[in-house]
Structure 1
Amino acid sequence: MDEVTDAGIYAQESSYLDRYVQLGVASGRVLRVTFPDTPEPDAEADHPVLERIFEYLDGLEEIEFDDVQVALTMPTDQRSVLEQVREIPYGDQVDVRTLARMTPDLDPDDDEDVNLVRTALDDNPAPILIPDHRVRDGPSAAPPPVEQKLRSLEGL
């Protein structure tokens, strides 16, 4: 995708979330999405992915981010889980065991595999872009108030 181009830190304040949405971008990929109370001092406001996030937060239409490249620098099995999270459509939700079933080579009846799913969700570098709020009984990398607002936005 051509939208993730300029390396740097980008942030805008969201009145809906009552905090900033901040992106870290490098090498054509989003490295991280965070929700600080105060953005990094050198953060710039304008970035195409950030604009799309705010269109999503406006709630006027279903916005997906499956075409945005996210750097997933984590073990392969955790990356596989997060890739499956990206397949959960806007307004849908699954539970942790269903996500384990969706992920190749994981067994939803194996406690270690279920814990792996929970760890991957907790370590998600890009909430919203990788919509972990759509996993109803799993942890989210977004702060709980943000997760609840994202779930509410999608009617979950």
Structure 2
Amino acid sequence: MNDEAGIFASESEFLDRYVQFGAAQGRVLSVTFPASPDDEAASDHELLDRIEDYLSGVEDDFADVTVALTVPTDQRGVLEAVREIPYGEQVGVAQLLRMTPDMDPDDDEDVRTARTALADNPAPLLIPDHRVRDGPSAAPAEVEQRLRSVEGL
């Protein structure tokens, strides 16, 4: 991803809404799916092209895209583990916790932490919370379902 900073958005016919992200210093700060883009949003960015390709069925794990995670450390571990779930595969929250260092799927507080991390995910799609079948997603429900359908989940 280039070092261009700003807000970028592109309309997705597949999602029936826009895909918008904020970036600075080569890092994605957030991904949202608004009905209309920010007035300041630019529409030309290589990541928007990749997202469009992904939504049309081109496999992409976006592993090379750096996401600036400004979340508590325990939630960061959960979101980093989510990025390790391969394209086209899904896990449950318990399995996600087993994948996350220092987290226990039998600990109610760890389960709450994981669910909070998923619900507050700053960059759904790039941090593919739609691959966690029994957890919340930060993306709107209809977007989550369409992302799951792209990957055959």
TM-score, with length taken from structure 2: 0.98
Find the partner of 2:9 among 11, 14, 18. 11
Letter of the 1:64 partner, please give it.
D
Gaps of 5+ in 1: none
| Percent of paired sites with the same residue | 69
Give CA deviations for 1:107-146 in whole Å, capped at 9, x if unaligned. 0111110110000001100011000000000000000000
Letter of the 1:47 partner, please give it.
H
Residue of structure 2 in register with 1:138 after alignment: 135
Q: CA deviation at 1:37?
A: 0.3
Q: Is residue 109 from structure 1 mapped to residue 81 from structure 2 by the alignment?
A: no
Distance in 1 (CA, whole Å) between partners of 2:2 and 2:135 is 28
Residue of structure 2 in register with 1:82 after alignment: 79
Q: CA deviation at 1:64?
A: 1.1
CA RMSD of aligned residues (A): 0.7
Residue of structure 2 in register with 1:63 after alignment: 60
Q: Partner of 1:133: helix, strand, or coil? A: helix
Q: 8 Å contact 1:4–1:25 — kept in the other structure? A: no
Q: CA deviation at 1:47?
A: 0.8
Distance in 2 (CA, whole Å) between partners of 1:9 and 1:22 is 7
Q: CA deviation at 1:49?
A: 1.2
Distance in 2 (CA, whole Å) between partners of 1:32 and 1:125 is 5
Distance in 2 (CA, whole Å) between partners of 1:31 and 1:107 is 28
TM-score, with length taken from structure 1: 0.96
Distance in 2 (CA, whole Å) between partners of 1:85 and 1:4 is 24
Q: Which runs of 4+ in 1 moved over 4 A?
A: none
Residue of structure 2 in register with 1:153 after alignment: 150
Letter of the 1:7 partner, please give it.
A
Q: Is residue 49 from structure 1 mapped to residue 51 from structure 2 by the alignment?
A: no
Q: CA deviation at 1:4?
A: 3.6
Give CA deviations for 1:76-102 in whole Å, capped at 9, x if unaligned. 110010000000000000000110111
Gaps of 5+ in 2: none
The count of aligned residue pairs is 153
Distance in 1 (CA, whole Å) between partners of 2:151 and 2:26 is 28
Distance in 2 (CA, whole Å) between partners of 1:67 and 1:94 is 22
Residue of structure 2 in register with 1:98 after alignment: 95
